[in-house]
Structure 1
Amino acid sequence: MPRLQFFSNNPLATRGDVVEASKAIIAPLLPYFSPAKARVRIPETIGTHFDETAPQLEGFARPLFVVGALLHAGEPDADSLLQPWVTGFKAGTDPNHEEYWGSFQDRDQRKVEAEMIAFGLLAGQKSGLWDRFDIETKTNIQTWLLGLLGREFHTSNWLWFRVMATIALIKVCGVDRADIRDQMREDLSQLDRMYLQDGWSSDGIWPTVQEVLSTEAETRERTRKTNQRFWSRQADYYSGSFAIQFSQLLFVKFAADLDPARADKYRQHAREVGAQFWRFACAGFFAALALAEVGNLPEPIHTPGAVKGHLLRHLRWWANRSEGILRSDGTINIGWTYPNMFLTEDYNSPQSVYWAVKSFVVVALTADSPFWTEPEAEYPEHDIGVSWLQAPRQVLCNHPQGNHHFLLNPSQFLLRPFKNSMAKYCKFAYSSSLPLSVAVGTVLLSQIAPDNAWLLSRDGTETWATKRICTDARVGRAAVDTGTSVAQDLLAISSQWYPWADRQVSVTTTLMPPSDRWPDWHIRVHRISVLSNQIKQLELVEGSFAIHGTRRSDNRMISVAHAETMGQGRYLGGDATS
């Protein structure tokens, strides 16, 4: 695929560089605007679980994170860039126009885009965006946003989208009513229920395992079916860089005067989570952290230059992979570092990926901001070693002698109708270097791809089950032989889980992080209890990290026989080396 001018070849070192990159990344969308500019449709049909208008609204709304930010900073040519969106606001909010976005329904994908619309209005207010609309368009925008009030929302990060819309109604549209403020307070109260500790929130209410298991047992007894309720215990990118932490920082930026105490609380959340989150974060968090100008940050994000380093290194990493992430027309494809529909969700449209431009909201800061004037700090020599993060229930593994950063995941899970949810939330370990695998079939092990998972079969390998619902983690210690007279004291994190909903098989897994003896590895111990004499045998399969299995010398695949005889190794990055 071709590289994208002003993005792929961009040093991404200065504000000017990042401004050029932000414009470049949304420029390929311009040919795909609809005639009245209210929708954007990349000409690729993949099918989502919602109507076709909603993803075309995604294409219009998501670039507003760039357009609004440039307006906020008073960028000289922002007006010419903005014009399609000014025109599109008029048609998209007009219920009598053929390009009308549509009114909000319960659990409607359009609700997600309300945050981007709100951001564009709030960020653009400084440059007089609201005053560019005629009276009819202003009324239609108000009416469209007011349609969110009273609608049913997922109890998740989605509530933030309505909060941002209410802020825009109050601060930009001049509609400051009691019902709007009541809705905002109600949503913020619900979001407070998702708070865990140490700055972390879950994406949804974090249930007790007993709630999940007792409800599942009752449902199974009554209906003879399982998985009839959707549960989750997830502290992930949606509760971090994608949504909750990001939106909290937008609140600090645009609405601190509406609730100063809450804004102070969100600043503290950012300080606390940032000190733990930085090694595994997508960059939206750092862009919003800079935009909100949160002070008194802890190491290793304690200076504007440090935050800048995390953000710009991230952007450069992606720019250097342009050939894998861009289509021939310069639009961003669906996947990760290459197109991959197996990885995606059924709510991903060709336009969805432009949520990625959240990382560019930092261009709203003018050139005299400390973020831009301070030198970019180098990657920190910050030895955090191996640490237990109580809020997300994960072990962060960064052994001083190791070359591989990963986390152990004893007790998060997701039981929602998403694709490959067990692969994405229930595996024992996730790496920042070695990607997770998702299933592409259900029969062969090579299709199931159980990296960092343990599969069990009780029907002669016809079907396989793995970790799903599990108990909360129990934190203990273990003494490890180091080959010397002194044993090393290690964390030992245990949780119990049931491969099958009838609970006739119970597994207790203990995870132990890297030690001085194995700085790039971890240990798993599984204890199995079979509670039914009807189960005569179990087949077991366990996977470790998935590597790119090719030889460096000639790029040919490493054979299974060769892999079995490689012997003890050490992770050096990229692939496994003897």
Structure 2
Amino acid sequence: MPPLPGFSDNPLRTRADLIRAAIALVKPLNPYKSPGGARIKLATSTAAGFSETAAQLEGFSRPLWVVAYLLSLQSTEVDPFIQALLSDAALNLESWVQGLKEGTNPQSPEYWGDLAPFDQRMVETETIAIALLVHPSAFSFEHDPAARKNLVTWLRQINGHAMPANNWLFFRVLVNLALVLTLGVPLGEVKSYIDDALEVLDSFYLSEGWSSDGLWGAERKQADYYSGSFAMQFCALLFVKHAETLAGYGERVAKFKARAREFASEYWRYFAPAGAAIPFGRSLTYRYACGAFWSAAAYAGIDLPPPLDIGTVKGLLLRHLRWWAGHEGIFNTDGTHNIGYTYPNMYLAENYNSPQSPYWCLKALLILGLPSSSSFWTATELPHPLSPSAPQASPKLELAKIKLLPQPHQILVGAEEHHYLVSSGQCTAKRFKGREAKYGKFAYSSAFGFSVPAGPLLEQLAPDSTLAICFEGEEDEAGWKVRWAPEGVEFGEGTAEGTWIRSTWRPWKTSGVHVQTTLVVPGSKWGGWHVRVHRISLPPGAPAMRVVDGGFAIDAQTSRGSSIFETSVGASFPQAHGEQRMEGWWSDGLGSLVLSRGGASGVVDLTYSIDGGAAASDGKALIIRADPNTNLIASRTLIPAMQHSLAANDGEGNKVIWLVTGVFAVQAEATRHLERVWEMWGDRPKGRFEGGSVRFV
């Protein structure tokens, strides 16, 4: 895909840079507008699971995250360079004002239609509400009573229909806020809708700033980017910004500010020093919306705790945007956004992703709502808190590179060798596509991403960072089950076992097979490694099974652009200095390793090397050639994995099998000296079994 001038070539360091980027992102939409401006339909013809009218409303509403601010700058901006950009006729900002008028007019052929229960149109009211709040003179139709009445009537429908008990409730709050503050609706008429929605949203709150996207329970255990940048924290900060002067909500505003501070204190760990976020959960086609929390925190004027002064926040947001500017594959040839992550990818897409959906990414540019005099724009951009060049924000502040976060049930690892997390305990019963991959894997990486399934066979499942299990002989009959719905989460840190998290799952609900996995990050002594300890319990009569434990999927191209698919470099791992600079893949039966332009990824069977370990299996290392386009970051990948054959349980009691896998990964930026990678690969975690745990020595 070609670069997008104004974004892909943008240094993204100053206010002017971000204004130029916003213009570059919305200008390609102009040819796809309906005559009245109320609908946008991009050239692609893929469909979402809701009406085409709602999909085209998405095309109109989502760019409003920046359009409202650009319109306001047309009359206030003094910088002649920016004024020249804003006056470009191809930008046609005024068409959005006319579009809002047409879309809410029941007599117009472009009317968006009445709202209904659980209607996608409810989601799109969020951005319309913010446009009303930030630029009322353009969007409130103060001097057109008929248009204003239509707008009020259309927006108030959100109060008359049932909606999902999740982040959508915040859209009801924001719409009513706009009705009161911009459109003259008395607070008393809508206050109960605001208060009732906020009460339900409070029930989603976990602690330490984290909220689930819906009530945490058996049906939903989700704490992903919806918890922060996509919705929950993001919308709460919009409320803080615009409701601070609204009578009766001072305590609520203070609560939201406190939660934002708590959330921010660890959320920065999801971002690598170079700006990449760890992809996890659903809706990742929203891309740089992962960084929208930082934009919202600055926009709302939240005073965040160390190490997060305004310069650090600025760096976290701008580096994230710069990382995305370096990925040209996110654009169609006409400059519009495509569905995917770093390249077009419909395997990733949710059933609610229309061609226009990705423009929620523009939430990250909320920062355009701050004037040029804001401390955000005048502050010096500071490096990532774990960067060696980061200033010490507090003499007493010690930032661990390995950090357990109890609420999302994850361990965040910010080591120089690899920026990733291990996860246990999240899932959802909602029928999201690829839900097992998006919530149930053992690990997620900012460098290697994760893979989503393209079909039921092993290479189509692309089982990176997960356990796949099937009955012997059913491998080619869609018999594979991958890790899902873990229960009984336990965790610990600062012990001889390292930092660890443990849970149990059942591949088949009725078979009685249980798999308990302890994920262990053993510490900085073994950089690049984490360990998985599996305790597999087979009930009497359980048939023979196959188990595959996958490592990180890695780019299958070399740094020179050639493929390393076809043949291995050799069965034995290099010893001679001359071989250590080679790229390719190796497998010796007990371990497999891939070196490519993506870095290094490998697995090794540690079951027999851990003192006291015993396994009734014949472990074999392999390399899985995953189907193309299954990984979010690299379109062609190889997955190093360990495969085990488990004998049938012909006895009377449960049969317990222990398996221990060492998982190795070093991101590309840390592989400049390949000799060091080989040293790390050879220096594997060592320990001993004690009561089902591994203690490292």
The answer to whether TM tops 0.5 is yes
Q: Which of structures 1 and 2 has the bigger CA Rg?
A: 2
Change (3 A) 1:472 1:124: farther
The equivalences for 1:135-534 within 5 A come to: 135-207=145-217, 212=218, 231-258=219-246, 259-280=249-270, 282-295=290-303, 297-302=304-309, 304-321=310-327, 323-381=328-386, 383-399=399-415, 402-442=416-456, 444-458=457-471, 460=473, 461=475, 462=477, 463-476=479-492, 488-502=496-510, 504-533=512-541
Amino acid at match of 2:458: L
Separation of aligned partners in 2, 1:531 and 1:352 = 47
SS of alignment partner, residue 563 of structure 1: strand
Query: Do 1:72 and 1:364's aligned partners in 2 also have CA atoms closer than 8 Å?
Result: no
- Please state which structure has a larger fraction of its residues in strand: 2
Match of 1:482 in 2: none
1:117 pairs with one of 128, 138, 141: 128
Amino acid at match of 2:481: A
Amino acid at match of 1:427: K
Amino acid at match of 1:171: L
Query: Do 2:142 and 2:148's aligned partners in 1 also have CA atoms closer than 8 Å?
Result: no
Separation of aligned partners in 2, 1:199 and 1:187 = 18
Match of 1:15 in 2: 15
Root-mean-square deviation (CA, aligned residues, Å) is 2.1
Query: Do 1:409 and 1:428's aligned partners in 2 also have CA atoms closer than 8 Å?
Result: yes
Change (3 A) 1:201 1:54: same
How many matched pairs? 540
SS of alignment partner, residue 114 of structure 1: helix
Give 1:497 deviation, angstroms: 1.1
Change (3 A) 1:497 1:99: same
Give 1:181 deviation, angstroms: 0.8
Match of 1:484 in 2: none
Change (3 A) 1:133 1:247: farther
Separation of aligned partners in 2, 1:471 and 1:144 = 44
Structure 1, unaligned stretches of length 5 or more?
Answer: 213-230, 480-487
Change (3 A) 1:158 1:375: same
Give 1:252 deviation, angstroms: 0.7
Match of 2:273 in 1: none
Match of 2:547 in 1: 540
Match of 2:587 in 1: 564
Give 1:176 deviation, angstroms: 1.8
Query: Do 1:452 and 1:545's aligned partners in 2 also have CA atoms closer than 8 Å?
Result: yes
Separation of aligned partners in 1, 2:321 and 2:239 = 24
What does the per-residue CA deviation read over 1:393-424, in whole Å, with 9 as the maximum and x for residues that have no partner?
Answer: 1111224xx41011111111122111100000
2:94 pairs with one of 80, 83, 94: 83
Query: Do 2:176 and 2:190's aligned partners in 1 also have CA atoms closer than 8 Å?
Result: yes
Amino acid at match of 1:95: P
Amino acid at match of 1:351: Q
What does the per-residue CA deviation read over 1:239-290, in whole Å, with 9 as the maximum and x for residues that have no partner?
Answer: 1111111101100111122311111111111111112111325211111111
80-89 or 19-28: bigger deviation: 80-89
Query: Do 1:496 and 1:509's aligned partners in 2 also have CA atoms closer than 8 Å?
Result: yes
408-417 or 273-282: bigger deviation: 273-282
What does the per-residue CA deviation read over 1:148-207, in whole Å, with 9 as the maximum and x for residues that have no partner?
Answer: 113111111111111111111111111125341101111111110000000010111001
Give 1:355 deviation, angstroms: 0.4
What does the per-residue CA deviation read over 1:88-137, in whole Å, with 9 as the maximum and x for residues that have no partner?
Answer: 11110011211100111111111100101101111112x55424551111
Separation of aligned partners in 2, 1:137 and 1:181 = 24
Separation of aligned partners in 2, 1:199 and 1:509 = 28
Separation of aligned partners in 2, 1:284 and 1:344 = 20
* TM-score calculated relative to the size of structure 1: 0.89
Structure 2, unaligned stretches of length 5 or more?
Answer: 78-82, 271-276, 278-289, 388-398, 571-584, 594-601, 603-663, 679-697
Match of 1:37 in 2: 37
Q: Quick check: 1:96 aligned with 2:103?
A: no
SS of alignment partner, residue 556 of structure 1: coil
